[in-house]
Amino acid sequence: MPSQQSRRRAPRMTSWTLVTLILLIVLAAIRPEQLQVVAYKLLLVTLGAVAGYWIDRTLFLVEARPHQCPAGPEKIGAWIRRALIVMACILGLTLGL
């Protein structure tokens, strides 16, 4: 079996990043005042993600953190728990609750 040359590929999500940048440029051309709203909403999402992560780290012991759990249901439960906490924080901030 001949060895295949490794092809250089763009990182994942590159096409979606380009689409997003194009849409931001279109938005800036059509309604530049809306860029502040986009930046504010992006801030709320990232703030919610960071807050959720740190809330999870604060509430649960080191042994209960996803990367510290032994393999099995405990590890899956820890990842799901963290995802739900982060999701709740993001939704809470973005919905204005």
- Look-up: residue for tokens 């080191």? 62
Would the pLDDT of 43 be above 90?
yes
Residue 2 confidence (pLDDT) above 60: no
Structure token pair of residue 54:
């740190």
pLDDT at 65 over 60: yes
Task: With cut-offs at 50, 70 and 90, classify the pLDDT of residue 64.
Answer: confident
pLDDT in the model for residue 16:
94
Residue 97 has pLDDT above 90, yes or no: no
Domain chopping of the chain, boundaries: 35-94
Question: Residue 57: what pLDDT?
Answer: 93
Range 85-89 average pLDDT: 96
**What mean pLDDT do residues 33-61 have?**
94
Give, in order, the Cα–Cα distances in Å from 28 to each of 22, 49, 56, 63: 10, 26, 37, 47
Please tell me the distance from the alpha carbon of residue 64 to that of residue 67, in angstroms, as a whole number.
8
